Amino acid sequence: MEDFQVSDHDLSDLALSEYLQAEAIAVDTETMGLLPQRDRLCLVQLCNPEGKVTALKIAKGQTDAPNLKRLLEAKNVVKVFHFARFDLATLRYSLGIQVQPVFCTKIASKLARTYTQRHGLKDLVQELEQVELDKSAQSSDWGNAANLTAKQLSYAANDVRYLLNLRQTLIEMLVREERLEIAKECFECLPTIVSLDLLQFKDVFEH
Strand partners, 78: 24
At 178, which amino acid appears?
A: E
| Minimum distance from residue 60 beta carbon to Mn ion (Å) | 19
Decide whether 126 or 196 has the Cβ nearer to Mn ion. 126
Decide whether 108 or 180 has the Cβ nearer to Mn ion. 108
Residue nearest to Mn ion (CB): 159
- Backbone φ and ψ for 6, nearest 5 degrees, come out as -105, 130
Decide whether 27 or 186 has the Cβ nearer to Mn ion. 27
| Minimum distance from residue 169 beta carbon to Mn ion (Å) | 20
Name the residue among 32, 150, 164 with its Cα closest to residue 108. 164
| Minimum distance from residue 124 beta carbon to Mn ion (Å) | 13
Residue 36 · residue 63 · CB < 8 Å? no
At 194, which amino acid appears?
A: V
Residue 63 · residue 45 · CB < 8 Å? no
- Backbone φ and ψ for 24, nearest 5 degrees, come out as -145, 145
| Minimum distance from residue 201 beta carbon to Mn ion (Å) | 26
Decide whether 10 or 159 has the Cβ nearer to Mn ion. 159
Decide whether 77 or 121 has the Cβ nearer to Mn ion. 121
Query: Which residue ranges make up the site for Mn ion (CB under 5 A)?
Result: 28, 159
| Minimum distance from residue 12 beta carbon to Mn ion (Å) | 22
Task: Give Cβ neighbours of residue 55 (< 8 Å, ≥ 6 apart).
Answer: 4, 5, 6, 7, 43, 44, 45, 153, 156, 157
